[in-house]
Chains A and B, each alone.
Chain A
Amino acid sequence: MAENNKHAHNSEGYFREKHLMLDPLPRGQMNAMAMEAMHHSTWKFWTVFAILCVIVAYCLVYSWIKMILEGLGIAGVNRPAYWGVFLVNTVFWIGISHAGTFISAILRVFKAEFRRPFTRAAELMTTFGLVQAGFSIFMHLGRIWLFYWLMPYPNQRMLWPNMHSPLSWDLLAITTYLLSSTMYLFLPLIPDLAMARDRSTGWRKIFYRILALGFRGTEGEWTHLRNAMTIFAFAIIPVMFSVHTIVSWDFASATRPGWNSTIFGPYFIVGALHSGMGAVVMVLAIVRSTMKNMKYFIRPEHFDGIGKLMLIISMAWAYFFFNDYIVQWYGGDKWTHLLLHFHEAGPMGWMWFAMLICNIAVPWALLWNARWRAMPWVTFAVGLSINIGMWFERYIIIPISLTINRMPFTWRMYQPGVEIPLGIGTLALFILLYMSASKLIPLIPVWEVEEGQMVHELKKFGRETVVSVSDLE
């Protein structure tokens, strides 16, 4: 076959530029780059940080205290929409957190090498996203100061939580997920913390020394670490599936028209991955463009890889949405039909169409093209569109669907109140936590990158240059 133009260039240089795994740098240098990225901050960073602190103080802290003192009346929930944006945000943040687990666990298990530089960035999203989800679910409690009654603890009155309730399952599932993903974040972080310890002075050294748990990098320690990570990788996959299934059962176990649908389990998981992947590319694009040295670690190839995943997941989501819709439609239940019609043609019909455009049309239009996929800001835009679309999807499922029920005398639109500043506050806190983390821990797992670079090599077979990967595990 005729030689492709691309191959006319210095093929090795081309490959080195395109693929991180084929572009090794001395390990010490990569570590130094990661440390520099942590230490280097600009006035822009601190300005944004300060603004976010103010937003968190007002939108989250002040508004929440006000709501606790005055009651949920300042939110927009009512009869029949007893649940509103708080639950939307909860599901949204849990959904985002799924991406981290998917990338660091599933991609690891499936040996998708392109995941290596950004697993930690994704895992941080999981942990911080779950924090926001936790806040959001606590916010919606009427008597939040008694939240501990939902936890199983022995007490004098011999009262336990009701395990029939999907909310109790939620509690267990999310707690499990938070704990396990935090540990799963921490495990691969240990070598990097040790690296940072060895390269730091002052308070940072103390900080890293405590967290690194004395890791010296001996063969025995690495073996234990790898075993632990492997176990966790396999163990956390079912947790990922179960968490969002259980969250979906908050709705699917209810009697409401539009909620009582068996497809919710996988539908929500796919939806979570959909919005999570979109959030990952958004974070990566921002990290890449704002942090020093990140352009080396995070390359267009990664956006290309995630972009392919986003496209596939978008198709899966479209299937599940279609499934949910068509089953409800041919089921023929009068109230469900009313609800479906209300979704499309009611006053919030624009949101329904926007959801479909953002979740399906935009990804399908843009992510087919390999060149576009590789552009960070294109995938960023698609990721943003997907996140908006998925937020709309949950808004439609929760407050808009709750408007319609079997007692038409009670139907009433939902208008969010203090949920908006509180939601903005959680978003600001998420970014704030992320920015803090970027200053405190190395965002790139250099040892994993190095590990990958060691096993990738270019081999020439005649005129073809091929990337070969030797098996690590």
Chain B
Amino acid sequence: MRWFRFATAAVYICAFSAPAGAAGLGVRISDARGNAVSDAVVTVALQSSGSVAPVPPPSTRVIDQKNETFIPYIEVFRPGDKVVFRNSDRTRHHAYSFAPARQFEFVLAPGESSAPLQLDKLGVIAVGCNIHDQMITYLYVTDAAHVARSGGDGIAQLANLAKGEYDVRVWHPQLRPGAGVDTQRLTIADATELKDLKFTLSLLPDPRLPPDRERAGY
């Protein structure tokens, strides 16, 4: 019952060697089977008053379309950031979004790049290609103090956490609807403190993978 596979991510928060004088958080995310979950977005929001990290200046990032795949799968933006879609394929792509945070659609000829799109609203913007269904990328617009993506090892690292109370939240595009997003409270009492958390996620299958028709069953 492959199709019944639910990926459950476990997020481990481990002690990492962090820059001296700043607290660090390691979040280990795994699925129900204990497999490392990559591309999970961990946001750490200050709960109480505390020192707020300085807001970096707006930047423009590129989402590449290569081999009929959006790269990366997920990109984190801060309000005001801009995104540019670039077509590195030899086919046209028709990027679109119905997300409330930002709706758009345009066709990119091979080698063409879109005009920069400014992302002002918070939220997740799912972007697909109307030509290639399996293509999808997520633009995660957040104003959280600290944001990190888990890597292939399922670990997201956050550093320079000031003292204070935080809500640690994990989001993943394949989170099972209704499963709820796990939020954990994090207290940083010491600037040098290294915390580690772990999250276990209930995930849907990766939509990027073409459906296995041969094995499909209902």
Bound pair: A and B?
Answer: no
On A, residues with C-beta under 8 Å from B are none
